Amino acid sequence: MSSFTDKGKIWYNGIFVDWKDAKVHVLSHGLHYGSGVFEGIRCYSTDNGSFIFRLKEHVDRLYSSASAYRMEIPYTKEEIGEAIKETVRENRLDACYIRPLAFFGYHHLGLDPTGCPVDCVIAAWHWNAYLGKEAAEGGIRCAFSQWRRIDPATLPVTIKAAGHYLNSILASLDAKGRGFDEAILLDTKGYVAEGPGENIFAVKDGTIYTPEAESSILPGITRASIIELARDIGYKVVEKQMTKEELLSADEAFFTGTAAEMAPIREIDDVLIGEGKKGKVTRVLQKKFFDTLNAREKKYMKWLELV
Ligand SMILES: Cc1ncc(COP(=O)(O)O)c(C=O)c1O
């Protein structure tokens, strides 16, 4: 995994500071309890300029995440959206990954964060597809994790809060420690949920399946985009509970997510999925998706925001 270069500017509570100066107090609430909310957003360099994919949806989700923890972001959605674009411009980036974060800051360490300031940060940097460039073509090897995905009865699973990601970290460590590329988490009932930072899809007899939004998943913005693209192409997409066996006996499987983009899954726990390579439906969808991201699909220009 590539590390930071320490160059560039970070938007920090409304002003740009040097990368190395974007610091927090060690007694910040968010650092101790994971009481922060964040987004992962991508900007793509295309023949027609640099575009941010589904900026509005990402900003909306950031605010939903904040409200689940009664966090009041001291900026409007419009201001944060503009600051995100400004961060890309300020750093002279074309294609990049963008990370807005809002967290309870330095004031006290009681669990109730009321009274802590809400600090806001936006950083942007070059970050290639999270699972590696080869993953998009050759696919990845996954393992069912021994860790179950966080449950809606325990945490608001549909939002992106920093502390929730301890569950993802454990699953990643588990799968990678056993030599796999990525984990797949089941929910507490034993149904397939998702990856540590990706939604999952399976294809069987030409129909596309994905765990329903009401299950223990983060309903991804990429997931929603892929479902819309697939339906527009003419595929049947079914959102439903998925058993391990259904996933293992699928003809094709793939992950979606902002960081991972779209990655075929070729193996799970050493069982080949379909022919153990990128399948036909995955190929069609991936092309449509990448064409969309690269501003080659007029119909979906509505999802791209010029920087
Ligand atoms: C747990 C989890 N599931 C799924 C996703 C995919 O969501 P999106 O497509 O909005 O990036 C992410 C990434 O944000 C995630 O962290």
On the CB side of 35, CA atoms within 13 Å amount to 25
Are 98 and 52 spatial neighbours (Cβ–Cβ below 8 Å)?
A: yes
| Most informative mutation of 222, 261, 303 for ligand 1 (most atoms within 8 A of CB) | 222
Residues with CB under 6 A from ligand 1: 40, 160, 168, 194, 197-199, 218, 220-223, 256-258
CA of 259 to the centre of ligand 1 (A): 8
pTM of the model: 0.96
Q: Which domains does the chain have, with CATH numbers?
A: 9-125 (3.30.470.10), 135-293 (3.20.10.10)
CA of 116 to the centre of ligand 1 (A): 27
- In tens digits, what is the pLDDT along the chain, a chain of 307 residues? 668 888 899 999 999 999 999 999 999 999 999 999 999 999 999 999 999 999 999 999 999 999 999 999 999 999 999 999 999 999 999 999 999 999 999 999 999 999 999 999 999 999 887 777 788 889 999 999 999 999 999 999 999 999 999 999 999 999 999 999 999 999 999 999 999 999 999 999 999 999 998 889 999 999 999 999 999 999 999 999 999 999 999 999 999 999 989 999 999 998 999 999 999 999 999 999 999 999 999 999 999 999 9
Strands 207-210, 237-239: pairing is parallel
Q: Name the active-site residue from 7, 9, 77, 160.
A: 160
Distance CA 125, CA 5 (A): 9
- The answer to whether residue 77 is catalytic is no
